[in-house]
Amino acid sequence: MSSRTSYSWVAAGIILFLLISTYSLQHSSTRIPLATNLSSFISDPSNSLNYRNHLEKTTSPASQIVHSQTLTFNHIYVLSLPTRHDRREQMEQLARAHGLKITFVDAVNKDEPFIKWIAERAVEVRKERLRIMVSTLSFTLCLSRARAKRKEAGYRLKFEEFPKVR
């Protein structure tokens, strides 16, 4: 390769480098300087969102930098007791720090009568399921015993020989 061709490739590389660096400088005007104190991001939720945005822009491909306030869902609901103001404030602070939009839904105390009624129904359903499982298990055990007898005797059992399930 001649020296003229080599100079052409070097010049093309330099021009390409300048174009890329100019492009990145134009699109990095919203970046936070690296000398910024990181503790200020942690203590102030609005700054932490800026820092999160800074990290996204500097570490993620442009095709992945899409932020939805509801994480692409219609709503984000937070179930919380109305008396727990501290918990609600904490959730609001987290939502602000992550740039999310949340909706609070009042939870119900466990001592409410209809919650106790639901718990009683759950106990009844569990007992019924347990009864069904035990009867199925006993049928399975009887079936396996019948198969073992058949194998020992060397003949096929007829359907009438299976035990009946109550």
pLDDT, tens digit, 9 for 90 and up, residues 13-51: 888 777 777 766 555 544 444 445 555 555 565 566 777
pTM of the model: 0.42
Residue 41: inside a domain: no
Residue 145: inside a domain: yes
CA distance between the termini of the chain: 93
Residue 150: inside a domain: yes
Q: CB of 76 within 8 A of CB of 101?
A: yes
**What is the sign of the dihedral through the CA atoms of 132, 138, 140 and 142?**
negative
| Same domain flag for 120 and 143 | yes
pLDDT, tens digit, 9 for 90 and up, residues 43-54: 565 566 777 777
| Same domain flag for 117 and 147 | yes
Q: CB of 33 within 8 A of CB of 55?
A: no
Nearest in space to 44 (alpha carbons), one of 81, 107, 99, 93: 93
Residue 148, domain extent: 113-161
pLDDT, tens digit, 9 for 90 and up, residues 61-86: 777 777 778 878 889 999 999 999 99
Nearest in space to 104 (alpha carbons), one of 89, 114, 118: 89
